Amino acid sequence: MREKVTTIPQDPTLFKGTLRFNIDPFNQISDEKVDALLEKAGLTELLKYESGTYLRDMMIEESGNNLSAGEKQLICICRAVLRKAKVVVFDEATANIDVLTEHKIL
């Protein structure tokens, strides 16, 4: 049952580690799918990372302190998409983000 339901909270939860770990903690999805999803979500444009490295390898600080609220929400949405959950519960997921990021989500 837990695999079929996911929540995108108003205050997103991120962990210290790579961006990939934060969206696919069990390493069940191919790198190509992760990269494609990050690009579709617009995160390649939003997040600054070193040229020649993969965005999925970007380090996230504890609680995502190096990200904006909108970036954190987009990462949580990517996590939900990759899980292919049947039920996604949005707990005011766009309440703390800017208008531009909200349009990307919608």
- Identify whether 83 is part of a domain: yes
What whole-number distance in Å separates Cα of residue 28 and Cα of residue 8? 20
pLDDT at 29: 92
- Identify whether 45 is part of a domain: yes
Instruction: Check which CATH number belongs to the domain holding 13 and give it.
Output: 3.40.50.300
- Identify whether 106 is part of a domain: no
What whole-number distance in Å separates Cα of residue 28 and Cα of residue 18? 15
Find the domain containing 88 and state its range: 2-101
Residue 9: Cβ within 10 Å count: 13
What's the total number of domains in the chain?
A: 1
- Identify whether 69 is part of a domain: yes
What whole-number distance in Å separates Cα of residue 81 and Cα of residue 77? 6
Give buried/exposed letters for 49-66 (b at 16+ CB in 10 A, else e).
Answer: eeeeeebbebebeeebee
- Identify whether 12 is part of a domain: yes
pLDDT at 102: 66
The reported pTM is 0.79
pLDDT at 23: 92
Tens-of-pLDDT digits for all 106 residues of the chain?
A: 677 888 888 888 899 999 999 999 999 999 999 999 998 888 887 776 666 678 899 999 998 999 888 888 889 888 888 888 888 887 765 666 667 666 665 6
- Identify whether 39 is part of a domain: yes
